[in-house]
Chains A and B, each alone.
Chain A
Amino acid sequence: MKKWTRRAFIGAGVLASGAVVIGIAIRPGNRSSKVAGLIADKGETVMNIWLKISPDNTVTAIIPHAEMGQGVHTTLAMMLADEMDADWSKVKFLEAPADKEYANYILAKGFIAGDKHFPKFLEGTIDGIFLTAVKSMNFQITGGSASVRFTGQQGMRIAGAAAKSMLLQAAAETWKVPVEELKAQNSTITHAASNQTATFAELAPAAAQVKTPSQPRLKTQEEFTIMGTSKPRFDIPAKVDGTAKFGMDVQVPGMKYATIKASPVFGAKVKSVDTTISSSQKGVNKILNLGNAVAVIADGFWQAKTTLDGLPIEFESTENKELSQVDIINGYKKAMDTALAEDELDLHFKKGDALAELESADTLVEAEYELPFLAHATMEPMNCTAWVHEGKCEIWCGSQNPLGVKAAASKLLDIDFDQITVHNQLLGGGFGRRSETDVIEQAVLIAKEVDFPVKLIWSREEDTQHDVYREATLSRMKAGLDKSGNPVAYTHQFIFKHHPPEAADVPYDIPNQLIQYSNPTTYVPWGNWRSVDHSTHGFLTESFIDEMAFAAKKDPFTYRKNLSENNPRFQAVLDLVKEKSGWGSALPANWGRGIAIAQSFGTIVAEVAEVEVSVEGKVKVHRVVCAVDAGFAIHPDGFIAQMESGIIYGLAAAMTGEITIENGAVQQGNFNNYPVTRMDEAPKIETHIINSGNSPGGGGEPSTPVIAPAVTNAIFNATGIRIRQLPISKNDLRESMRQTT
């Protein structure tokens, strides 16, 4: 088996669909004193690893995920509370500590196994395997649009249902009545016939002694009382009055501030820097040469930053010091040509004989696409506070991967894992960036040199220039159409395959397919960027199907629908977006409408964009209609917000997002030259949800891959100009460039 890595997991997708695995997600709580020690106060009863009950009848859901705006703390607590029949007004949450006990084995299992059913006798073994695996690689990730569909569905719901079952059992035994006659409602259990009532809290100590059921009955959709409603999010009040604490806001007594500059050319070492502090550098505590970066510690960020900016730092020269964007793209082209010529492309998917069928097809459609590197540009620049003292290390940060943080610090400092404490804070944007531990490692190395806590803050420029980037991509696509315009063959060769493995799949019925890729050596560090490979393949596949529809002289909606006859869910989403967008209705001059659809992270999203392209070539996206089937939206308003967010994030990238390399360094540094979508550029977004009842899909990413092709297809509709190179701002769309079609 291929080695499991955290990175592989976070981007990995689900291959299978089907019924949900249940009944294998919880381990009993009170039997593990370690868990109780981590999460419970005196008098509280730990029912299982995800749930405790307090004497005041508060039910607390233990959530092993970071809050970065997706509302995960609320949504997962809702799943647990609904199954338990808890009183929502008395439900709280606690973010699980960064501890191996809370390694996300459910997520890991979900990523590897999808929704596959395991034979019952194997379940314990399989859980054991996954638990051991995730503990060993410190997997406590928030990513892969996975919290609801794996932790929620296979953890929280079962934890809630199991606790309810145990409470009912305890009541039945106490009152000596049949369990079937009891009713749980609003954190209370009643026996109507004997007029007896007890709160969850009163029953909890006895209930915790009841054997945990391995397969508690879960509610059907019709029985939900909390799931499917939009409860006010737990995290919002603190986000409007300034009290929310992000990593950036941590204040530790005696703390000083640091900032850092790594080599502009990736990987180059520091050649020389004068680390002496001059008398004029007031408030400066230390100048540190970390080998590949220089850091300054001072009384405040400003003093550290101005000192760092004034330091003459020389970096070693590397072979990449003159590398340019053109070199990189030409290198990719050459790598693809060579791989093609020498038949060394890796196979993604093959069906029939696409090459032969292309030759004999009636019409040949061909296109080459190019996509840029992208930075994450989270609103909160990278930061981390660390304190190394007395053989211990304390870390304050906002991380999508707190166990990974712990492991990284433990390794760097050679301190025992249990001597590292991670205080995870709110995340000012994650998008995949905060699953990395690079800034944590720097903070720890800096803190090691002093005997006080240090908060390391990256400047926006450092954040932009030392990100891990969405890969730049090249793609060559061909399709052969028969006389009536239907595709008989499809070939696709592209550069770079990361995750999820299925991203390059074509969702349409095409009998002959050959999809291949090459992974050449790359110089620019890669990282998971919201929707990962779907961010490229959504654009590629949905641009090219639009080109095919045009060549076939077919309506882009009809063409997609006709090629999805084996996928009724897909067709339903297409139908809904067509209806809600008013597809086919008249638009003003210089306006266009474009459609795109993709399935990612278990969720199908279709979007129709309405754009206006002025005679000067300026693009304005006026409206986006989004239809989505994620099985069931647990928190509809939060789910809609995720769709909106993913659309704006993807739109920023499509319109202007581009990181380029010159002299080996990233050229962009801040929002002035890495512009993102602002309010006056944001379209009106209308989201429509289908609760199909299928296996739950993710919410955080699936709307992102669809927006770029929806917009570029709309631009084509408006102007006849096909965008094959992103961002859109690179293309000349002035009226004089348009051909009458």
Chain B
Amino acid sequence: MIKLTINEKEFEVDAPAGMPLLWAIREQCGLTGTKFGCGIAQCGACTVHVDGQPIRSCITPATSVEGKNITTIEGISKDKNTLHVVQQAWIAEQTPQCGYCQSGQIMSAVALLNTNPAPSDEEIDAAMSGNICRCGMYGRIKSAIKRASESLQSSSTPEII
């Protein structure tokens, strides 16, 4: 058994050597917002944050992130009663279609805006091209990131994690 800290909560999980974090999060911690898409870090659906950095949980051994702060889509908003500004932008732009990839898209977008609150189109492309959307909502994802960026610029609290 190992201890994982996910969304500021402690979980005890039974993770055999090599078991990716994804399956611990989904099956043992019951947080199903993080998705399985490819298993080889090609699609980004499994993106979570480890100490604020976006990682692909489908290839990250659970044992390697013991003692670190893991954040999933369920914990991205600090305040349980309001959505994260990126999530709000996602709704405003009516971004998702099937929605399966969107947790991963949002996690990548939050990580991008964390380090670069006003990204250019090229910077958005570079940060987001590891996340596949088979419904092809790339234009809306980009618009939502820009909208979130604008809200961040105009808000007095720039810290968003």
Contact = CB atoms under 8 A, between A and B. Distances in A.
Interface of A: 68-71, 230, 232-233, 235-246, 248-249, 251, 257, 282-283, 299-303, 306, 377-381, 426-431, 457, 459-460, 637-638, 641, 644-649, 651-652, 670-672, 676-682, 684-685
A242 B73 contact: yes
Nearest to A246: B100
Nearest to B141: A679
A429 B98 contact: yes
Contacts of A251: 30, 32
Contact of A676 (B72, B90, B128, B132): B132
A244 B99 contact: yes
A655 to B, nearest CB: 12
Contact of B131 (A244, A300, A679): A679
16 contacts: A236-B94, A240-B90, A243-B74, A251-B32, A301-B27, A428-B35, A428-B99, A429-B134, A457-B36, A459-B39, A460-B40, A637-B94, A670-B42, A676-B134, A679-B138, A680-B129
Interface in B74-100: 74, 77, 83, 87, 90-91, 94-100
A70 B97 CA distance: 6
Nearest to B45: A379
Interface string B37-75: 111101101000000000000000000000000001110
A679 B106 contact: no
Contacts of B34: 242
Given A69-B96, A237-B91, A240-B106, A460 B38 contact: yes
A677 B40 CA distance: 17
Contacts of B28: 300
Contacts of B26: 249
Nearest to A681: B129
Contacts of B142: 679
A672 B40 contact: yes
Nearest to B106: A240
A240 B83 contact: yes
Interface of B: 14, 16, 18-20, 23, 26-28, 30-40, 42-43, 45, 72-74, 77, 83, 87, 90-91, 94-103, 106, 124-126, 128-142
B138 A379 contact: no
Contact of B83 (A241, A246, A676): A241
Contact of B101 (A300, A379, A457, A670): A379
A69 B39 contact: no
A241 B16 CA distance: 29
A634 to B, nearest CB: 15
A428 B98 contact: yes
Given A282-B16, A647-B136, A379 B23 contact: no
Contact of B98 (A381, A426, A678, A680): A426
B37 A682 contact: no
Given A240-B83, A240-B87, A379-B134, A232 B32 contact: no
Contact of B19 (A68, A302, A457): A302
Given A236-B91, A242-B73, A69 B99 contact: yes
Contact of B135 (A69, A233, A671, A679): A69
B134 A377 contact: yes
Contacts of A257: 27
Contacts of B139: 644, 682, 684-685
A381 B31 contact: no
Contacts of A428: 35, 98-101
- Tell which of A236, A239, A431, A676 has the most Cβ of chain B within 10 Å: A239
Given A70-B97, A670-B42, A239 B102 contact: yes
A-B CB proximity, top 8 nearest: A242-B33, A648-B136, A69-B97, A428-B100, A239-B99, A69-B98, A242-B73, A249-B32
- Tell which of B35, B98, B142 has the most Cβ of chain A within 10 Å: B98
Contact of B37 (A239, A380, A672, A680): A380
A442 to B, nearest CB: 18
B27 to A, nearest CB: 5
Given A236-B94, A378-B98, 6 more contacts: A236-B95, A246-B35, A379-B98, A651-B136, A670-B42, A680-B129
Contacts of A637: 94
B136 A239 contact: no
A388 B99 CA distance: 30
A427 B74 contact: no
A240 B96 contact: yes
A242 B39 contact: no
A249 B36 CA distance: 10
Contacts of A652: 136
B134 A241 contact: no
Contacts of B131: 678-679
Nearest to B40: A670
Contacts of B73: 241-242
Contact of A645 (B43, B130, B137): B137
Nearest to A647: B136
A242 B43 contact: no
A498 to B, nearest CB: 22
A240 B137 contact: no
Contacts of B32: 242, 245, 248-249, 251
A649 B134 contact: yes
B129 A302 contact: no
Nearest to B102: A239
A379 B142 CA distance: 19
A679 B101 CA distance: 13
B20 A379 contact: no
